[in-house]
Amino acid sequence: MTQSYSLTRKDLLSLEEFSKKREAWRKDIIALKKKRRIPVGPDITFYFENRQTILWQIQEMLYIEKGGEEQIDDELKAYNPLIPQGNELVATMMIEIEDIERRRVTLAQLGHIEYEITLEYDDVVIKAEPTEDLERTTGDGKTSSVHFLHFSFTPDQRESFKTAQKVLLCVNHSRYNYKAALPRDVHAELSQDL
- Residue 137 structural domain: 12-191
Does residue 3 lie within any of the structural domains?
no
Please report whether residue 17 resides in a domain. Answer: yes
Q: According to the model, what pLDDT value does residue 155 have?
A: 95
**pLDDT given for residue 141 in this prediction:** 80
The tally of domains found in the chain comes to: 1
Burial of 46 (0-12, 13-18, 19+ CB in 10 A): buried
Q: What share of the chain is helix, strand, coil (3-state, %, to 5)?
A: 40, 25, 30
59 located within any domain: yes
Task: Let me know if residue 43 belongs to a domain.
Answer: yes
3-state class (DSSP) for residue 167: strand
140 lies in a domain?
Answer: yes
Can you give the pLDDT of all 194 residues of the chain as single tens digits? 346 689 999 999 999 999 999 999 999 999 999 999 999 999 999 999 999 999 999 999 999 998 878 899 999 999 999 999 999 999 999 999 999 999 999 999 999 999 999 999 999 999 999 987 666 777 788 999 999 999 999 999 999 999 999 999 999 999 999 999 999 999 999 999 99
Could you tell me if residue 187 is inside a domain?
yes
Residue 133: per-residue pLDDT:
67
Pick the closest to residue 7 from 37, 51, 44 (CA basis).
51
> Is residue 54 assigned to a domain?
yes
Cα gap 148→161, rounded to integer Å = 21
Does residue 56 fall inside a structural domain?
yes
User: Helix 51-65 to helix 15-34 angle, to the nearest 10 degrees?
Assistant: 140
